[in-house]
Amino acid sequence: MRRKNWRLVIVGAALIVIAAGFFLFMLSIASRSTDPAALMQTVGTVSGVVGGLAIAMIVIGLIGKKA
């Protein structure tokens, strides 16, 4: 039987929420930027990396370790 690591799952879910919030916040600011396309490309890359890391943390946490 494997024990799930709920701390990793919770932190992963929180990171997904933070990444989505950061993306939406920067989306509202992008119109005031001198180069909104480049800004959103960078923001999308950062949000995607954080979201991918969060999904990996959730999967690893749900797989767990041997008891």
* DSSP for 21-60, written as a single string: HHHHHHHHHGGGSS-HHHHHHHHHHHHHHHHHHHHHHHHH
Q: Please give the tally of structural domains in the chain.
A: 1
Asked if pLDDT for residue 52 goes beyond 90, the answer is yes
In a domain, 14, yes or no: yes
67: pLDDT confidence band, cut at 50, 70 and 90?
A: confident
In a domain, 67, yes or no: no
What's the pTM value of the predicted model, to 2 decimals? 0.87
**pLDDT for the residue numbered 1:** 85
In a domain, 17, yes or no: yes
**pLDDT for the residue numbered 12:** 97
In a domain, 7, yes or no: yes
By residue range, what is the domain housing residue 49? 2-61
In a domain, 28, yes or no: yes
Over the stretch 2-45, which tens digit does the pLDDT of each residue have?
Answer: 899 999 999 999 999 999 999 999 999 999 999 999 999 999 99
